[in-house]
Structure 1
């Protein structure tokens, strides 16, 4: 026990020099590091990013194969279901589009809100032109409206003839129902006649005998239309046989309402019973038992159904990826419900709008409708994993080569260092690009990821090997090494049990800095398309879209968030590395 320690134990003060005598080398490094505010800030930033990328994906899972063009290039925000104050409390009806909604109040005024996939959607015809609007319907990127005089209006995307309203509907026929769908529009007259226009290749409507002129309601999904006739029959308007066309015979003549998702078709009978048929995916065919015999109204989103029961309760079933099935408790009497894509609304007796489902995206979506935030988390996990394993490989090789080279010296040292120079002369990016091009699609995505980690590690070890060699050369002349030799310790034991622990801090500092370098290298390789490829996300391939000027200008969130995250992460790691270096050698800043 030192004199300073004894003084401290009896409560006597000790000065800084005496305090240093009491600290072990590791304790001194930790103390010096904690005094470096920049390094500590770097640790905090990196740990936050690391924990988010490791922990949050368990709570925010992502299907890497998921694509939905209806959600493409949605800007960051959570305004999709936020009805305007002028409408909320005076709403007549609401319709849900892909990423936006449209509604009318009791005075016939039109309101829009959400994220608009097309700027033309904001061009609402003047109130003086439309008059009092009685119905509205939102589609993928266009809107239909009809006024009290039966005039139809459409705005938004005008491709595929969406603006070409049939001449028969321009004469002021009484319109009972309108539907703005994926790339086509429907209008049903009071006489039971259905008109459609838009993309005729997407949906080819065929009327069974006796249906046209006898339709009471229509429902549609992406490429199919079904009709409810005035005599209570369900008639899919297509000649193609599918799971949707297999209507249960026992309900024909008793149906009062229909709704259709992209997976299945549902019908409500006079007794309030619900029948669903079609594809069983997304859980749309799993009808809750509690609703049977109590359904007043039914609506459908893209992958979920919503039922209004006779006791004023709302029940939803099907896919719940965007909380479409998390219905709110509404104490007031509900007068209508509506659903579409990933949003749902209920309007109460007082005109208040209650919405649930997809409210928006924290960091927006990319060109395939994938959540940038979730991909950022998964991409960070991949980028960090590649960087970490590459560093482990390079550090292991570097320690072995550098340790043996520095300790043995002579011809062994000369041979190993010449080999290290040969390896370091190999340009990594051209080598990886050539190898990736040669292999092409011959290897799986997992094999490609392993190959990148291996190449990064195998070509990155010369630097740390030289560092270890230099440190071993200095340490091998120390007295403890001579003592170990005298005791008969084998050379391997001297290198890795006696010398290596004395230079481990130097190795950690170098490995930390190499980690950031490997992350940047992987990101660069993925950015140019020769690293980790889609659908596996990395911060590098998420930045690929920034090669397009339109993406840089109009869809900034697709590249800003990955770039900022990668930048903060690598800068933080470098700050930690610099802090460790200064903590190990406090006089390094003076040189």
Structure 2
């Protein structure tokens, strides 16, 4: 008997095998055979997983803005020190997106994302011995103390002040949009955009200055007798220099909101604002520090044994010192980058390498905002679809089952709702509401509008399916058994048409995503700083962005296009799997 059954099974035709399968297994089989549908599913699931999983590890404050990082093109070149400089470096400094170095022969190198003006290195500088790097300009001095400058000529940055002509320069510093130099006789001269950066040399006019440090807001000076003096015209937290350190300071450093000093006994003192726990100086550096440098929100110290210790902000690994950073001869920190030159002239760098998909006009990471924007757009679309289908199934089920007057009234209601001009109505609501609701309230309102105005097509589909099912034998049997009508509709009929409803849901989901993006693009929708794919595209409407900052809209458009097309491909494949005869029509 067993062998007979086995032989009988082997003789079954493919058609007979399919007839014995459950409808669900048949649908799955048909769907798996559709390569386009499965490809669409894989693409969508990949995008969905990236948007909802990657931000767990790759986090950034949605309110974050950084003018020094705005409109940076994709790439990872910030730390790409030229090979000719890696083992022959004398000085290296970092700007926000680029680096400049000098080898032991006084030759200047540049790397990273450079503007046209930054590439115009003066040819007649001689042997360069020191450099300073600002936002988009560079200062350099040669072995004779002569000063040179190049880069963006904002507010006359490339024009050396007349009072410096013929004077030897002892120290140079390039701030956010300013230049500050110290002459050989200890005088300080500054120039550039002094309206954006609060600097006044009047505070040190009677002092002999040794060196200066500048950040994006102001500067401080270290005198030859070991005192620290703020160069700010307005009172700031940096003015509160601890009295006990005056006259004992050897080195100084600045972050955006704090200042630090290395004293003669090797201890480190920090004052100003305690951002990123910058006051929490590691115990292992106290009494051993010999040099210090600062980035925007972190500090790095070199100890007497030649090792580096960093603390503060670490969002770009700028406070994570690599193990090979030993035997340090010189130290430099940029905005989010660090560099040490070892005693043998070799270079070790760490920190921000660049951005995978670039940054936007506020210095925000485009890749991260695409992920977070995808979360928002998909969430809005998903909840809107749930609302649409809840209303559509309810209205369509009742209308199709009862027919008659109920059917006429409900379908006329659907026609009225369906005839409302969706986009103009949304824009009118936006104008009326304005800023009267919170960001969360605005998002909820978008979901409700998409849901309450988009159910009519689903109601019509469900009605048609219920009309086809309501006179079948299982419905008649349920009526004969006294089953309540609401149970017949929602427990017997609707489950039998659920496959068609699921197919429609996938297509409606893509439509809701596109609609949300369109609303946000037009200004009604998810508001900044919360990202959505729509409001991100809204920020790319200008011809300048389209032509010069292509990465801000190209990658986003590709992701949005892939997401909607993949959903539609899967939905179409699911429809064909549910109704194979559709291929013949």
Q: TM-score, normalised by structure 1?
A: 0.96
Please identify, of 156-165 and 325-334, the stretch whose mean Cα deviation from structure 2 is larger: 325-334
Please identify, of 412-421 and 182-191, the stretch whose mean Cα deviation from structure 2 is larger: 182-191
- Please give the secondary structure, in 2, of the residue aligned with 1:547: coil
Q: Which residue of 2 aligns with 1:509?
A: 503
- Please give the secondary structure, in 1, of the residue aligned with 2:497: helix
Pair 288,62 (structure 1): closer, same or farther in 2 beyond 3 Å: same
How far did 1:44 drift?
Answer: 0.4
The partner residue of 1:499 within 490, 493, 499 is: 493
Structure 1 gap segments, 5+ residues each: none
State whether residues 203 and 229 of structure 2, in contact with CA within 8 Å, keep that contact through their aligned partners in structure 1: no
State whether structure 2 residue 18 is matched by structure 1 residue 17. Answer: no
- Superposition pairs for residues 293-332 of structure 1, below 5 Å? 293-330=287-324
Q: Which residue of 2 aligns with 1:132?
A: 127
State whether structure 2 residue 533 is matched by structure 1 residue 533. Answer: no
State whether residues 164 and 198 of structure 1, in contact with CA within 8 Å, keep that contact through their aligned partners in structure 2: no
The partner residue of 1:224 within 200, 218, 224 is: 218
Show CA shifts across 1:282-331 (max 9, x none). 22111111110111100011111000111111100111111110111226
Pair 86,354 (structure 1): closer, same or farther in 2 beyond 3 Å: same
State whether residues 189 and 201 of structure 2, in contact with CA within 8 Å, keep that contact through their aligned partners in structure 1: no
- Please give the secondary structure, in 2, of the residue aligned with 1:202: coil
**Could you tell me how far apart the structure 1 residues matched to 2:477 and 2:447 are?**
41
- Superposition pairs for residues 32-181 of structure 1, below 5 Å? 32-116=30-114, 118-126=115-123, 129-171=124-166, 173-181=167-175
State whether structure 2 residue 421 is matched by structure 1 residue 427. Answer: yes
How far did 1:204 drift?
Answer: 4.6
The partner residue of 2:356 within 352, 359, 362 is: 362
How far did 1:437 drift?
Answer: 0.9
How far did 1:22 drift?
Answer: 2.2
How far did 1:533 drift?
Answer: 1.6
Structure 2 gap segments, 5+ residues each: none
**Could you tell me how far apart the structure 2 residues matched to 1:159 and 1:232 are?**
33
Please identify, of 337-346 and 241-250, the stretch whose mean Cα deviation from structure 2 is larger: 241-250
How far did 1:332 drift?
Answer: 5.2
Task: Say how many residue pairs are matched.
Answer: 585
How far did 1:43 drift?
Answer: 0.6
How far did 1:13 drift?
Answer: 4.6
State whether structure 2 residue 380 is matched by structure 1 residue 382. Answer: no
When the two chains are superposed, the root-mean-square deviation of aligned CA atoms in Å is: 1.8
**Could you tell me how far apart the structure 2 residues matched to 1:436 and 1:355 are?**
50
Pair 210,155 (structure 1): closer, same or farther in 2 beyond 3 Å: closer
The partner residue of 1:195 within 189, 192, 211 is: 189
State whether residues 366 and 372 of structure 1, in contact with CA within 8 Å, keep that contact through their aligned partners in structure 2: yes
**Could you tell me how far apart the structure 2 residues matched to 1:211 and 1:346 are?**
33
How far did 1:337 drift?
Answer: 0.4
Show CA shifts across 1:542-562 (max 9, x none). 112332111111111000011
How far did 1:521 drift?
Answer: 0.5
State whether structure 2 residue 338 is matched by structure 1 residue 340. Answer: no
Q: Which residue of 1 aligns with 2:539?
A: 545
Please identify, of 575-584 and 17-26, the stretch whose mean Cα deviation from structure 2 is larger: 17-26
**Could you tell me how far apart the structure 2 residues matched to 1:359 and 1:297 are?**
24
State whether residues 305 and 327 of structure 2, in contact with CA within 8 Å, keep that contact through their aligned partners in structure 1: no
State whether residues 8 and 14 of structure 1, in contact with CA within 8 Å, keep that contact through their aligned partners in structure 2: no
State whether residues 328 and 356 of structure 1, in contact with CA within 8 Å, keep that contact through their aligned partners in structure 2: yes
Show CA shifts across 1:150-169 (max 9, x none). 22211111011212211122
State whether structure 2 residue 578 is matched by structure 1 residue 584. Answer: yes
**Could you tell me how far apart the structure 2 residues matched to 1:210 and 1:573 are?**
66
Q: Which residue of 2 aligns with 1:349?
A: 343
